Structure 1
């Protein structure tokens, strides 16, 4: 007679924790929590455990609400041997209305979104780059025949057209324009190299000649400075001897009570000045200067007549 083996079935576990155990810790007040620390959705009541900071379901909402027993497997405490949290079966006082909690949660969410949009972005320092010189400040490097020859040889080693291995569909060898241009440049530089070398040698000789003449003229410059140095020192002493604010004059003062030789030669007979425009007379030079007389085209004019002429034509006595 054949025997049959019946597989054991797991006992159906209750959906809610049904126990009368209550933690001795003080109860959690829902009104003292933030809106984002508790979820009062009907049938999905959860709260952040104050000990392990893990979202924990709330059981017995219609009777004595307590926290469901849970382990300390949180994001901050990822231990290999989790243990029962001390806030298991801890009472919670649901003294917050669902409508008020939803309004506060919506307001907090809106404020967080506004604050995150106002948050300044991270300022990345710009790399410090040197300023690009102008086209007139660029100094082109002179071409050397040897440098161009090395570039030409390197091109020949890498270019298939220069080696004769590049062919078209008809089997004809393809020319290389870059190789031709480098070859022409090499030949031109080698042809101009003697002239370039002569120019470089000329500049070297001129530089040496200038340095030699400058060194030979050094004693003459020193002797000339030694001859001028006493006069300069004397002038410095005289300048320091002048009081502050007084101007040093080297020439004689202009006499106002008598005529200088040039004015005496122009003085008409009778000892009086006569205006060359209106015929007015002045007895003395000092009186004429006080009355604003001027000389225009080497002729004396009274102050009234002198104002009729441009300022650049008037010369004072």
Structure 2
């Protein structure tokens, strides 16, 4: 009777590395590491190895915490040769940071980093200088010529596959080109209208030359007319400059300032002494006030000195 074959079983592997070998390198101080370089979550203690910058588990947290032996590159990667153990394997680490303090610092750092990312200034791009479009009244249409349209049609024909008969649909039929057809029709129309356009341009040029001749012939007459009226214009300019600034020119004889003629004195009502509304000066009669240069401003009497402080158009003679 054959003996049944017993399949061998592998020995249960230890969950944590237990060794008495310690690295001779100085111990790592947890408080000197950045918050993002260590993880103190209970049961998941990890630290970024200072030698190979890989996340490495921490064993012996309740006794002598050390870094788990590890390689500089993943051990199971077949492309990595040769596999070399990291120099910080079994290196001691001093866990002198409380878990609650580490969590609060990590949360604060995460919050600050998110706010900084949202407050980051965007790149300033220079705004292109756009010239303002001209007004409709400033646009000057340029008439097309047959030669210009012919050049445009040649360029389009060299680039367009449909015009050369190389563009086809699924059924194998040649596709028409609307742009080429429009350019060809425009060229034929301009060629047909070119004699009429030349005749119209010749008429306008002939009329322009005739107008220039007539304008040049009438130049002596215009100069003679200007020479005749030039003295009158110069006299008017001199009279306008002689008028004081702000004064209103009045036609007729000037008002005597030393005394009133009998007729004007008879027309003026008899008044008592006048008092200046500004300085309080007085005049015994209207005649003496007129002789002293008194005026009315807003229907109130002012002496000559006070009236000179107001614009000329506000002063009214008695």
Who is 1:61 aligned against?
61
Size of the alignment, in residue pairs?
234
Q: Which runs of 5+ in 2 are unaligned?
A: 1-7, 75-79, 166-175, 220-240, 244-252, 272-283, 303-311
Who is 1:121 aligned against?
122
The offset of 1:190, in angstroms, is 3.4
The offset of 1:38, in angstroms, is 0.9
The offset of 1:181, in angstroms, is 5.9
- Work out which of the residue numbers 244, 269, 272 in structure 2 matches 1:278: 269
Q: 1-side partners of 2:39 and 2:19: how far apart?
A: 23
Indicate the SS of the match to 2:201: helix
Aligned Cα RMSD in Å?
5.4
Q: Is the 8 A contact 2:149 2:186 kept in 1?
A: no
The offset of 1:42, in angstroms, is 3.3
Who is 1:17 aligned against?
17
Who is 1:191 aligned against?
196
Q: Could you tell me the TM-score, scaled by structure 2's length?
A: 0.52
Q: Which runs of 5+ in 1 are unaligned?
A: 1-7, 164-173, 215-248, 252-260, 295-302, 305-310
Q: 1-side partners of 2:152 and 2:27: how far apart?
A: 87
Q: Could you tell me the TM-score, scaled by structure 1's length?
A: 0.52
Give yes or no for the alignment of 1:38 onto 2:38.
yes
Against the structure 1 CA distance between its residues 293 and 86, is the aligned structure 2 distance closer, same or farther, given a 3 Å change threshold? closer
Q: 1-side partners of 2:40 and 2:93: how far apart?
A: 12
Who is 1:139 aligned against?
140
Q: Is the 8 A contact 2:145 2:190 kept in 1?
A: no
Q: 2-side partners of 1:159 and 1:87: how far apart?
A: 70
The offset of 1:46, in angstroms, is 0.9
Q: 2-side partners of 1:100 and 1:293: how far apart?
A: 93
Q: 2-side partners of 1:32 and 1:188: how far apart?
A: 92
Q: 2-side partners of 1:293 and 1:96: how far apart?
A: 98
Q: 2-side partners of 1:159 and 1:71: how far apart?
A: 64
Q: Is the 8 A contact 1:48 1:54 kept in 2?
A: yes
Indicate the SS of the match to 2:56: strand
Q: 2-side partners of 1:313 and 1:93: how far apart?
A: 98
Who is 2:277 aligned against?
none
Indicate the SS of the match to 1:274: helix
The offset of 1:189, in angstroms, is 4.0
Against the structure 1 CA distance between its residues 56 and 292, is the aligned structure 2 distance closer, same or farther, given a 3 Å change threshold? same
Q: Is the 8 A contact 1:148 1:186 kept in 2?
A: no
Cα-to-partner distance string for 1:254-304 (whole Å, 9 max, x where unaligned): xxxxxxx9779xx9888x962534378x99x9873315379xxxxxxxx89
Who is 2:111 aligned against?
110
Q: 2-side partners of 1:67 and 1:159: how far apart?
A: 71
